Amino acid sequence: MSGSGHSRKQKHQNRVPFVAKRDIKRNDGDREKESALRHLACQNVCKRCRQKVVWRFQMGKYKPKRAGTRGRCNSCGKQTVKLAYRSLCDLCDPCGKEQGLCPGCQKPPELAELSREVKVPGETESEEEEEEEGSEDEGGGDA
């Protein structure tokens, strides 16, 4: 009877939002490595796969591949997959780029919508604002 379909309010409201690795003291080198890995893991994948990877980082669920281990590519069969949650090689032998498939979900180009420009949450957005202002100035000079 526990799954009878009725819904109710949350029994205990969360006092503070979830913060991954809140209780772990980390040095600057670890933070830099994680931000570099976060940026690399979000490159050349579709929007949905990028959302999955970002969620895994936010919730502390991302498990990177161990150093020295590689996965097998589903397209060419070589052991060239370096990043976790990927199934096509895209760094040294770009099977995903050649076929236009997302290396995470292997969807075709029409469905994949590969994101080349990566916007990772937590990074500064001042550079993006400056680019937008620069493009507006250029458009105003033509009229």
Averaged pLDDT of the chain = 75
Query: What does the pLDDT read at residue 60?
Result: 86
User: In the chain, where does DSSP find H-type helix?
Assistant: 28-41, 47-58, 95-99, 109-112, 126-141
pLDDT at residue 119, as a whole number:
54
Q: Amino acid letter at 7? A: S
- At residue 121, the pLDDT reads 54
Question: For the chain, what are the domain ranges?
Answer: 31-114
Look at residue 127 in the predicted model and tell me its pLDDT: 41
Q: What is the model's pLDDT at position 101?
A: 84
pLDDT tens digit string along 57-115?
888 889 988 888 888 888 888 888 888 998 888 766 678 777 878 888 888 766 655 55
**Pairwise CA distance, residues 54 & 37, whole Å:** 11
